Amino acid sequence: ERPWLLADGAMGTNLYNMGLAPGQAPDLWNDSQPDKVADLHRQMIAAGADLILTNSFGANATRLRVSGAEGRVAALNHAAAGLARDAAQDAKRPVTIAGSMGPTGEIMAPIGRLTEAEATAIFTQQAEALKEGGAELLWVETISALEEMRAAARAAQSVDLPWCGTMSFEPGGRSMMGVTPPQLAALIDRLPHPPVAYGANCGTGPAELLMVLSGFAASGNELPLIAKPNAGVPRYQDGGLIYDATPAVMAEFAVLARDLGVRIIGGCCGTTPPHLAAMHAALIETPPGPRPNTETISARIGAAMRLAAETGD
């Protein structure tokens, strides 16, 4: 029907602004505050999301160990998928449920101690519960090491689910572990169970992430691309976290991403339902334009940021 899908916005940031305590794992709210998690899913769908991520980014055994909840992996992921499934079923249109799986929180061997086999087992445990709860695909996000992406791909294959994979890139175009976009694209080409789409998420804002996407587009890999940046840089204001990319800025990003050829467009940290609604409206209302180059991206996002600062929009 159209060449793009709108993914949802932030989970952790929005839950924090809904009362999640600093330092508390958002995944625990699937059990303790399920109504708030479900309400956020419904807000994202109402804003136009075609694809929603489950509240399970950190719900793997190693990350849950910090909260003393490593024994609740199956229950928390099953609940996360169920909450998203119920919200999607209430929608008046198709909405895809993507099971969010973030990094293990451990450094991969040989630099760290976690082996690929161990990471695969950790991801598989989470993936099984997400599938049983109703996830239609897995969404592997904010990865920084090729070995960890490979382990997640094996987990997706073992549970027989399609998957999407995104890395987070630092300023300068490399992940925290030094991976470049062409290196990720080369890995994706070699995987026996490749993702249905791949790309980048998080980072320092929409302009920087689009620069990274330009590197993927030049790699020759023809899989659909994903762009899901943070809504700029955060600041603490009025008891909550506010990011400096306004809805108008994220709307400009969405149009640029679409014109760059990105197929799945969304937002990461700081992206609220109003951001998503502005992105959806811009994608619907703005006619397709020429493929933007890096100078165009920088100029248009910069102009949108300046206008937002001047007008308070």
CB 204 within 8 A of CB 233: yes
Q: Peptide bond before 290: cis, by omega within 30 degrees of 0?
A: no
Separation of CA 149 from chain center: 14
pLDDT attached to residue 235? 77
pTM exceeds 0.75: yes
pLDDT attached to residue 312? 65
CA–CA dist 268, 243 (Å, integer): 11
CB 130 within 8 A of CB 162: no
With H, G, I as helix, E, B as strand and everything else as coil, classify residue 26: helix
Q: For each successive 10 residues of the chain (313 residues), what is the average pLDDT? A: 95 93 94 97 98 98 95 98 97 96 94 95 98 98 97 98 97 91 92 96 92 78 92 78 88 96 96 97 97 92 84 68
Decide the pairing of beta strands 225-229 and 264-265: parallel
Decide the pairing of beta strands 163-167 and 169-170: unpaired
pLDDT attached to residue 226? 97
